[in-house]
């Protein structure tokens, strides 16, 4: 039978085995990143052309050490593998292993194999075999493990074609299991077999031991007669693990030789420096400094170019399109709104690049190791460092990254404080305000003052996260076992292709995600700013002419006066004016007030809002947003609106305020309660208000 259906391929493997690079090698940029329904685990699917015009859907499953799930990411793997009716159920599973950690990686392989799915063993990083003194007897391993083996190097792109051939011929791969489940506990398993003669024993065993959905079976039914105490189950799981390792050891004894005399080890030398009690911290701090300096300094040129480009584009649209309402919307609403977000691509791309490099290289685990004891003092775990650092990109993936923290209290505190770290959505706000109120000067020849301010803001973010964690640790009364296990992977030179694809994917989702909201909001804002109730708005021109009868204004001055009266009396102007009493003690005028309100659901909207507000009624579209903000004068005091005091007050307001609906949603999901997101919202927002108030009153 010839079917046109694409082959479903699932990539399964331990973390740090190069699974993602195999995925990238097979699919290139042909990837789609989404979420599994109902949960926030990232789902990556790609497409791959195989020989003979056959196509494959490649599913990159979350990294897992075994089929005994300990987090929802790992749960995804089991739920898929146990559910034959899932449309992504794999026709063939590729278990990706690292040649240097073959023994441990094979544990997962034997588990997958016992599900009787055709399974191909992919041994990755083969280019390091010689260097590590490893030799493998592939035919013998294929025979003992009852599989086909692809020896590849995803890093060097070796063996990929041979792997594709194996995928095409997946039907020839044996589905015979590795371990006879009965051997774990013969009496117990024989009973199971008698009760459920049509089910795979290992599947039943997984269902009994884990908390997963199993569509074809009523779990309660199994549990009724086969319930065991938690400790009995764990004893059996230990026995199972020992059995599996016995099998693996027997196989590897014959199939693998390691000549340690040939092995060179620079891991231990690097470890000695990077986890050193003094140099370890110095290096960590230096790395962070370089990252934050470069985000500000290196991205300046492309950002200025984008800014000017959009200003020109907007002017061009105004000039070329026929005058009218639609042109105004495009030139004053949509183009500045989009420009307001696109301008931050350079900074966001740099940030994702650095985080991706830190994770790829294996350095992140050393930071976890280095920081664990210190972080525990604040009720956090060493593993909280990863969310706190990746929180500088976005709090949402950062909160998801807390899933590997074993202890619930440490995890909850990490989730609650992560939104304090300076995320990329704050960057646009910081960038534009710093550029306005902090002088672009160098101290000591190399340190840029603006870069330094940005770094300070990042430190304030981390500092308030740590401090709140300390408070929460005192307040929260949660007891739990404090498990902590972290793999220390080998150091690797980050692969350009992996970093590149990661940066593209993340930047794309930021731009489209934020872009949609910003576009919608800027259109609404434009409408509210160009329309208004009452005579002050509609008869602005005649009123001003009447007021200046004695000394008629020049046409330019008249136009400006009309525009500003219209804006003040537009719907948005009236809204802004009504909240002015609340925000003027912080040093903000009604225009900033509108930007603060509209960015309540997403911080990055702030800049787009100001861009739209300042563009409406400004005939000079060639001016950049920055220059327009610079020129803004407070009519009462005669000072600049964006002066040092109000600027710093705004910076601190944005540093603390919880202005991100998506973060609240993810906190709700991960903690399974409305209590925690509400606590975040109230605590962070009131802190922001108080700090901004005090700052402005002291500095003004």
The site for another protein, by CB under 8 A, has a size of 43
In this structure, the number of other CB atoms found within 10 A of the CB of residue 440 comes to 11
In this structure, the number of other CB atoms found within 10 A of the CB of residue 121 comes to 27
**Is 146 within 8 Å of 180 (Cβ atoms)?**
no
* Cβ partners under 8 Å of residue 437, min gap 6: 642, 643, 644, 646, 647, 648
Among 103, 146, 228, 700, indicate the residue that binds another protein (CB under 8 A): 103
Task: Output 212 or 687, the one with its CB closest to another protein.
Answer: 212
Q: Considering the rule CB under 8 A, would residue 268 count as an interface residue with another protein?
A: yes
Among 59, 81, 107, 167, indicate the residue that binds another protein (CB under 8 A): 107
Q: Considering the rule CB under 8 A, would residue 473 count as an interface residue with another protein?
A: no
Report, in Å, the least distance between residue 254 CB and another protein: 17
Report, in Å, the least distance between residue 186 CB and another protein: 20
Task: Output 134 or 687, the one with its CB closest to another protein.
Answer: 134
Q: Considering the rule CB under 8 A, would residue 487 count as an interface residue with another protein?
A: yes
Report, in Å, the least distance between residue 365 CB and another protein: 8
Q: Considering the rule CB under 8 A, would residue 662 count as an interface residue with another protein?
A: no
User: Segment near another protein (CB under 8 A), from 241-249, 318-326, 387-395, 584-592?
Assistant: 241-249
Report, in Å, the least distance between residue 132 CB and another protein: 11
Q: Considering the rule CB under 8 A, would residue 65 count as an interface residue with another protein?
A: yes
Q: Considering the rule CB under 8 A, would residue 428 count as an interface residue with another protein?
A: no
Q: Considering the rule CB under 8 A, would residue 281 count as an interface residue with another protein?
A: yes
DSSP 17: S
Residue 567, phi then psi, degrees to nearest 5? -60, -45
Q: Considering the rule CB under 8 A, would residue 262 count as an interface residue with another protein?
A: no
Alpha helices of 256-331 — where are they, by DSSP H?
267-274, 279-297, 300-320, 325-328
- Please name which of 332, 136, 157, 172 lies closest in space to residue 252, comparing C-alpha atoms: 136
- Please name which of 146, 156, 152, 176 lies closest in space to residue 164, comparing C-alpha atoms: 152
User: Segment near another protein (CB under 8 A), from 38-46, 227-235, 325-333, 605-613?
Assistant: 227-235
Task: Output 171 or 239, the one with its CB closest to another protein.
Answer: 239
List, as own/partner pairs, every contact residues 37-42 make where C-beta atoms lie below 8 angstroms and the sequence separation is at least 24, other chains included: 39/72, 39/76, 39/669, 40/396, 40/400, 40/666, 40/669, 40/670, 41/72, 41/73, 41/76, 41/400, 42/400
Q: Considering the rule CB under 8 A, would residue 104 count as an interface residue with another protein?
A: yes
Q: Considering the rule CB under 8 A, would residue 285 count as an interface residue with another protein?
A: no
Among 241, 289, 627, 685, indicate the residue that binds another protein (CB under 8 A): 241
Q: Considering the rule CB under 8 A, would residue 627 count as an interface residue with another protein?
A: no
Question: Rounded to an integer, what distance in angstroms lies between the CA atom of residue 163 and that of residue 273?
Answer: 39
Task: Output 99 or 514, the one with its CB closest to another protein.
Answer: 99
What distances in angstroms separate CA 347 from CA 297, 522, 662, one per listed residue?
9, 22, 21
Task: Output 15 or 513, the one with its CB closest to another protein.
Answer: 15
Task: Output 105 or 390, the one with its CB closest to another protein.
Answer: 105
Report, in Å, the least distance between residue 15 CB and another protein: 11
Task: Output 264 or 277, the one with its CB closest to another protein.
Answer: 277
Crossing angle of helices 590-598 and 571-583, rounded to 10°: 100
The footprint of another protein on residues 317-376 (CB under 8 A) is 365, 368-370, 372-374
Task: Output 280 or 617, the one with its CB closest to another protein.
Answer: 280
User: Residue 399 corresponds to which tokens in the numbers above?
Assistant: 């909160």
User: Segment near another protein (CB under 8 A), from 122-130, 151-159, 277-285, 535-543?
Assistant: 277-285
Task: Output 194 or 481, the one with its CB closest to another protein.
Answer: 481
What distances in angstroms separate CA 24 from CA 6, 48, 105, 496, one per listed residue?
18, 10, 20, 11
User: Residue 577 corresponds to which tokens in the numbers above?
Assistant: 């004016």
**Is 590 within 8 Å of 571 (Cβ atoms)?**
no
User: Residue 400 corresponds to which tokens in the numbers above?
Assistant: 């998801």
Residue with tokens 């898929």: 80
Task: Output 248 or 641, the one with its CB closest to another protein.
Answer: 248
DSSP 100: G
The footprint of another protein on residues 371-400 (CB under 8 A) is 372-374, 382
Q: Considering the rule CB under 8 A, would residue 313 count as an interface residue with another protein?
A: no
- Please name which of 15, 12, 66 lies closest in space to residue 244, comparing C-alpha atoms: 66
Among 329, 486, 524, 558, indicate the residue that binds another protein (CB under 8 A): 486
Q: Which residues bind another protein (CB under 8 A)?
A: 65-66, 68, 70, 101, 103-104, 107, 231, 234-235, 237-238, 241-242, 245, 267-268, 271-272, 275-277, 280-281, 365, 368-370, 372-374, 382, 406, 482-490
């Amino acid at each position: 039978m010839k079917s046109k259906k694409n082959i479903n391929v699932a990539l399964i493997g331990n973390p740090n085995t190069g699974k993602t690079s195999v995925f990238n090698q097979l699919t290139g940029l042909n990837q789609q990143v989404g979420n599994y329904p109902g949960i926030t685990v990232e789902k990556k699917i790609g497409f791959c052309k195989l020989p003979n015009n056959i196509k494959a859907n490649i599913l990159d499953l979350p990294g897992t050490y075994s089929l005994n799930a300990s987090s929802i990411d790992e749960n995804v793997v089991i739920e898929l593998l146990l559910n034959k009716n899932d449309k992504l159920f794999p026709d063939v599973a590729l278990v990706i292993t690292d040649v240097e950690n073959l023994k441990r990686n094979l544990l997962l392989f034997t588990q997958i194999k016992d599900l009787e799915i055709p399974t191909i063993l992919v041994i990755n990083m083969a280019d390091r075999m010689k260097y590590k003194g490893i030799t493998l007897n592939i035919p013998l391993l294929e025979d003992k493990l009852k599989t086909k083996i692809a020896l590849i190097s995803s890093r060097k792109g070796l063996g990929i074609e041979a792997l594709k051939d194996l995928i095409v011929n997946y039907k020839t791969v044996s589905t015979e299991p590795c371990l006879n489940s009965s051997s774990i506990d013969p009496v117990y398993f024989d009973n199971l077999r008698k009760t459920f003669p049509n089910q795979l024993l290992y599947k039943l065993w997984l269902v009994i031991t884990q908390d997963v959905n199993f569509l074809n079976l009523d779990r309660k039914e199994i549990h009724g007669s086969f319930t065991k105490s938690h400790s009995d189950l764990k004893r059996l799981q230990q026995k199972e693990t020992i059995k599996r390792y016995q099998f693996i050891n027997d196989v590897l004894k014959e199939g693998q030789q390691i000549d340690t005399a040939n092995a060179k080890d620079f891991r231990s030398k690097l470890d000695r420096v990077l986890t050193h009690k003094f140099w370890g911290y110095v290096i960590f701090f230096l790395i962070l400094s370089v990252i934050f300096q470069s985000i500000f300094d290196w991205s300046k040129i492309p950002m200025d170019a984008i800014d000017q480009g959009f200003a020109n584009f907007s002017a061009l649209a105004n000039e070329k399109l026929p005058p009218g309402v639609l042109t105004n919307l495009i030139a004053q609403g949509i183009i500045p709104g989009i420009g307001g977000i696109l301008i931050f691509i350079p900074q966001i791309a740099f940030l994702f690049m650095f985080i991706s490099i830190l994770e790829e290289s294996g350095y992140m685990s050393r930071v976890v190791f280095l920081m664990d004891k210190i972080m525990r003092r604040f009720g956090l775990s060493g593993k909280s460092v990863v969310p706190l650092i990746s929180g500088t990109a976005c709090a949402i993936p950062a909160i998801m990254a807390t899933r590997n923290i074993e202890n619930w209290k440490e995890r909850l505190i990490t989730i609650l404080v992560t939104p304090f770290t300076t995320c990329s959505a704050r960057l646009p706000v910081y960038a534009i305000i710093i550029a306005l109120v902090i002088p672009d000067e160098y101290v000591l020849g190399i340190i840029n003052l603006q870069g330094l301010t940005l770094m300070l803001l990042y430190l304030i973010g981390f500092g308030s996260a740590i401090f709140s964690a300390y408070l929460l640790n005192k307040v929260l009364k949660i007891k739990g076992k404090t498990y902590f296990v972290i793999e220390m992977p080998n150091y690797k030179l980050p692969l350009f292709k992996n970093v590149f694809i990661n940066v593209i994917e993340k930047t794309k989702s930021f731009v489209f995600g934020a872009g949609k909201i910003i576009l919608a909001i800027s259109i609404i804002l434009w409408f509210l700013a160009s329309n208004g109730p009452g005579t002050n708005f509609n008869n602005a021109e005649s009123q001003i002419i009447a007021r200046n009868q004695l000394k008629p204004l020049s046409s330019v001055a008249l136009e400006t006066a009309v525009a500003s009266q219209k804006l003040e009396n537009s719907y948005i102007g009236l809204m802004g004016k009504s909240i002015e009493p609340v925000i003027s003690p912080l040093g903000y005028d009604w225009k900033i007030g509108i930007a603060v309100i509209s960015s309540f659901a997403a911080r990055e909207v702030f800049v787009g809002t100001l861009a739209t507000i300042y563009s409406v009624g400004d005939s000079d579209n060639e001016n950049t947003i920055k220059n327009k903000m610079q020129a803004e004068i407070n009519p009462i005091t005669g000072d600049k609106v964006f002066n040092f005091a109000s600027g710093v007050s705004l910076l601190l307001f944005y540093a603390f305020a919880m202005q991100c609906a998506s973060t609240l949603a993810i906190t709700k999901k991960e903690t399974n309660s409305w209590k925690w997101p509400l606590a975040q919202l109230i605590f962070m927002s009131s802190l922001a208000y108080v700090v901004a108030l005090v700052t402005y009153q002291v500095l003004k």
